[in-house]
Amino acid sequence: MNRNTFLKQTGMLAAAGLLYPALSRAAGIIMPKTSDAIGLQLYTVGSLMDADTKGTLQKLAAIGYKNLESASGSKGLYYGYKPKEFASMVKDMGMTWRSGHVGGVPFTLPMLMKLATTAKDSAQIQKYAPMIARMPKGANLQDNAQQLADEAAEGGLEYLVCAAIPTKTMDDVKIAVDVFGKAGEACKKAGVQFAFHNHSFEFVPINGVLPYDYIMANTDKDLVKSEVDLGWATVAGQNPVEIFKKYHGRIPLWHAKDMDKITKEPTEIGSGYVDFKPIFDARHLSGMKYFFIEQDAEGAPTTMENVTNDYNNLKKVLA
């Protein structure tokens, strides 16, 4: 089950492509060699990580993945390890743990129901209620921001990211702003950068205002960064490049996610309708530092074959 149910390029860009690398260097932003720095959000292989953490990581390293972003599993935020232990294991395999996803508010069924935007969403979340009840009730940003920031620092992470938070009503959005502001302060104290990850519902207007825009306008640009999920933004009718232009330099992280044109659900890179080439060509606009493939497909868990195809197909696009 994907986390969305669970929980529009002009000639100006050609000139920008020449100008922004120089500006980025002047600002101290290091633009990655994209084809050599492909990362993975480990939620993609969550069931595999739960079953065999070390073996799964070894297979990911063999595929060629370099950067990792963690997500909570059945054994907790760090797959049963201490942050330092997990970071060390990843490093020994030739990869780097760059970022970690954590919950915005306590992980409960009522909270998840707030993420539902359709009757289908609600029905699917209810279907997974028994699994939700069995999941570890880990720390969250609303209640444990400093603890999570300190643990991220212990693991050598550069980024701590809110995976999801309700934005169905304006009251929800205002709570998100408050949680993100405090998380940003906690992360600053720990020497880590805070960011929040979007799904499609942050682009559903409330009284004419997009929750995403409200959050960006009402949080400190230095304390709160954005991790744009290219797939969910596209499904919501947004052009990622336009988001980069509007919030230039404030989007250091991306999720490279392809979406099926019919179902609008995550699919293998290259088999959907997300046009990655112009988006990556505009990475200087966003200040992108790292990107992570994520294929959180509904139904059957993502396999090692899927993430191999994801890696190879995206590398062809970026070559």
> For residue range 158-212, what is the model confidence (pLDDT) as tens digits?
999 999 999 999 999 999 999 999 999 999 999 999 999 999 999 999 999 999 9
* DSSP per position, 70-106: E--BTTBTTTTS-HHHHHHHHHHTT-EEEEEEEBSS-
Residue 29's nearest CA partner among 278, 303, 257, 249 is 249
Rounded Cα distance, 292 and 286, in Å:
15
In the CATH hierarchy, which top-level class contains the domain 12-98+105-139+221-318? alpha beta
User: pTM of the entire structure?
Assistant: 0.85
- Banded pLDDT at 19 (limits 50, 70, 90): very low
Any idea which residue has 């209620």 for tokens? 129
pLDDT at residue 3, as a whole number: 54
> Residue 34 above 90 pLDDT?
no
* DSSP per position, 119-181: HHHHHHHHHTHHHHHHS----BHHHHHHHHHHHHHHTT-SEEEE-----SSHHHHHHHHHHHH
Report the share of the chain in percent with pLDDT over 70: 81
pLDDT at residue 126, as a whole number: 73
> Residue 86 above 80 pLDDT?
yes
Residue ranges of domains in the chain: 12-98+105-139+221-318
- Banded pLDDT at 2 (limits 50, 70, 90): low
